[in-house]
Amino acid sequence: SELALMLKGYVEKDPERFARLAVRLPTRTNPAYYDQVLAGLKAATIPTQLKLDVTRKVFAECANDCGTAIADSLGSVEGTLPDDAVEMLSWLATEHPNPQREMWQEQAERGGKFFGGEAYSNGINSTRGRAAEAIRDLILKDVAYVGRFRETLGRMVQDKSAAVLS
């Protein structure tokens, strides 16, 4: 994880170069590297197609491990997302296993509750919650996304997690 964090710094300095490298990484690359590459590309000004290529690769290889970074990446795309990217974000918002439980209600080892006992803090630190935020951001940029995410929005409001709903 320390090396992956270093990689993020390099990605931020030369995002296009490292995005091109990321699409060539071997299939069994540790997800921590993909996570940090996507984090480094989130605010980068690179061709949208290249950002989507990296995001597609990460989704295909480790969607469960890197779901939050994928959601952040898709939510940051300027321009209109292609249908497959909308489907990825829909899956992350409704099918991803994280969160598995309501940690905000649980006692932490050092006293107090996880996430300060706040459902919202738990939600925004989960994959489904972060995907919901990405969908919100896209809708705020372009109201046409309401129609594209209509079915997903219907499923999202029925999420079993209070943290995600918050």
Q: Give the tens place of pLDDT for each residue, 68-117.
A: 999 999 999 988 999 999 999 999 999 999 999 999 999 998 889 999 99
Those residues whose C-beta lies under 8 Å from the C-beta of residue 96, and which sit 6 or more positions away, are: 63, 64, 67, 127, 128, 131
Q: Which token pair is 127?
A: 């994959």
User: Model pTM greater than 0.75?
Assistant: yes
pLDDT at 13: 96
So what's the pLDDT on residue 73?
Answer: 96
Residue 38 has pLDDT above 90, yes or no: yes
156 pLDDT band (50/70/90 cuts)?
Answer: very high
From CA 22, how far away is CA 154, in angstroms rounded?
A: 34
> What local confidence, expressed as pLDDT, does residue 130 receive?
97
Quote the mean pLDDT of the chain: 96
pLDDT at 105: 94
Q: Which amino acid is at 1?
A: S
Whole-angstrom Cα distance, residue 120 to residue 41?
26
Residue 164 has pLDDT above 90, yes or no: yes
Backbone dihedral angles phi then psi of residue 14, each to the nearest 5 degrees: -140, 70
In percent, the amount of the chain with pLDDT more than 70 equals 100
- Position 110 scores a pLDDT of 87
Q: What 3-state class would DSSP assign to 19? A: helix
